[in-house]
Amino acid sequence: MENFVTQVHDSKVLVIGAGVAGASCALMLARVGVAVDLVEQRQFPRAKVCGCCIGPAGLEMLDRLSLRQAAIAESQKTTRWLGSFNGRQVDMPIPDGIAISRKTLDPMIVSAAETAGANVTMQCTAELQFSKLQSDDLPSADDKLVDVTLKTNASNENRTYSAVVVAAGLSANRLDKWLPWQQVPHGPFGVSLTVANQPDTTVLPGVIYMACDDDGYVGLVRLNESELDVAAALCSGSAASKRGTPLQRIQRIVDRSCFEGIDLQTSSPMMTTPMLRRKRLAGKGRIIAIGDAAGYVEPFTGEGMTWAMQSGVDAAKLIAHVIDQRDEWCSLGAKWTVAIDQQLQHKKRLCRLVTNACRSHLMREAAGITLARFPSLATPLLSSINRI
């Protein structure tokens, strides 16, 4: 962050969404003196569909946010990965990572952003206004600012910003008009739940469990002595939905795996996501998207939050650079599209390869046989995905 601006400017930036991406971006902007509003439609702490695992690259990102030690203190260390491919067990050591509840991590980053000077408003929904912005055209030179309506229970307030960072996750709302989603048909959808009082003899602390079969995959990890996080990506479509409720399908995948005695029936309410595989142009004019909002690829070993934090930090750097160099704000979107493509596309492609392979019966069979005997064969792939 050495190149960050040091002087105070009159530009103001809005970050929409206080998940890991938005909060990281707001934190880094505030640290270098950029005036930033961070708005979040929900009240925190909030639950979120997530496997809650962070690997070494994610810890490195937390380090850059100066939150590594705080996150470690609130988490469970993970050192082992136990996979079940068509019921065949693969057991491998993994570099130290953590399992941390999103109810803990997200407010931690938001609070750091607020301490650094970001103006945070919870339970506030942002809507981009299109009176000046025409969705088919790039903004013209007259489009000096982005018009936004901020809606809270108390009021609807119209404000203008020099630039807007969309960190709204997978949500589909009026933000999509400017950066429309392209959804890949027949993609999976995400489900997660927290199970309380799961005996720690069935799901061991420090181990990431992943059961893969024809219906999708389920990840399980212990968050602390009493709570177990369960996250799954299940096949979509009418044939798949006839297999039962998401919870029944998750339980069936776990029952068919080599993990024994895991009962998920005594669980909290379940959360689901929209279809997961989707992409969009990451930036246009003064508006850029970061984290899941920039295009989603199913994570496999805990990459999602790492990429989200990384894109938040990198977007903050780019915005600071634009301010510092007095570049045209309208060039921000194009610059960001190139930057995010360079940083993440290779990793996302690798991840898609792995998750696609997990959906093929034959590939799972081959992976199960090979990795059960030679687990170290997975190391180059994991390190490549996890490198920052």
Ligand X SMILES: Cc1cc2nc3c(=O)[nH]c(=O)nc-3n(C[C@H](O)[C@H](O)[C@H](O)COP(=O)(O)OP(=O)(O)OC[C@H]3O[C@@H](n4cnc5c(N)ncnc54)[C@H](O)[C@@H]3O)c2cc1C
Stretch in the footprint of ligand X (CB under 6 A) among 10-18, 62-70, 347-355, 376-384: 10-18
State the nearest-atom distance from the C-beta of 378 to ligand X, in Å: 17
Specify burial of residue 142 (Cβ count, 10 A radius: 0-12, 13-18, 19+): exposed
Stretch in the footprint of ligand X (CB under 6 A) among 75-83, 304-312, 336-344, 355-363: 304-312
State the nearest-atom distance from the C-beta of 326 to ligand X, in Å: 29
Contact criterion met (CB below 8 Å) for 304 and 50: yes
Q: What is the DSSP letter of 329?
A: G
When asked if residue 125 is in the footprint of ligand X (CB under 6 A), the reply is yes
Nearer to ligand X, 23 or 116 (CB): 23
Nearest residue to 38 (alpha-carbon basis) of 49, 52, 27, 51 = 27
Nearest residue to 195 (alpha-carbon basis) of 266, 105, 251 = 266
Angle between helices 20-31 and 102-116 (to 10 degrees): 20
Candidates 171, 267, 337, 370: give the one binding ligand X (CB under 6 A): 171
| CA of residue 190 relative to chain centroid, distance | 12
Q: Which of residues 262-291 bind ligand X (CB under 6 A)?
A: 273, 276, 291
Contact criterion met (CB below 8 Å) for 314 and 339: yes
When asked if residue 173 is in the footprint of ligand X (CB under 6 A), the reply is yes
State the nearest-atom distance from the C-beta of 187 to ligand X, in Å: 11
Q: Which of residues 194-253 bind ligand X (CB under 6 A)?
A: 231-233
**Between 319 and 338, how does the x/- string for binding to ligand X read (CB under 6 A)?**
--------------------
Candidates 169, 216, 283, 333: give the one binding ligand X (CB under 6 A): 169
Stretch in the footprint of ligand X (CB under 6 A) among 42-50, 318-326, 335-343, 357-365: 42-50
Nearer to ligand X, 5 or 109 (CB): 109
278 φ, ψ (degrees, to nearest 5): -155, 155
State the nearest-atom distance from the C-beta of 66 to ligand X, in Å: 18
Q: How many Cβ atoms sit within 10 Å of the Cβ of residue 326?
A: 9
Contact criterion met (CB below 8 Å) for 286 and 319: no
Q: What is the DSSP letter of 169?
A: T
Q: How many Cβ atoms sit within 10 Å of the Cβ of residue 352?
A: 15
**Between 336 and 355, how does the x/- string for binding to ligand X read (CB under 6 A)?**
--------------------
Specify burial of residue 36 (Cβ count, 10 A radius: 0-12, 13-18, 19+): buried
When asked if residue 41 is in the footprint of ligand X (CB under 6 A), the reply is yes
Task: Give the whole-angstrom CA distance, residue 74 versus residue 126.
Answer: 31
When asked if residue 62 is in the footprint of ligand X (CB under 6 A), the reply is no
Binding interface with ligand X (CB under 6 A): 16-22, 39-42, 48-54, 125-126, 167-169, 171, 173, 175, 190, 192, 231-233, 273, 276, 291-293, 299, 302-306, 308
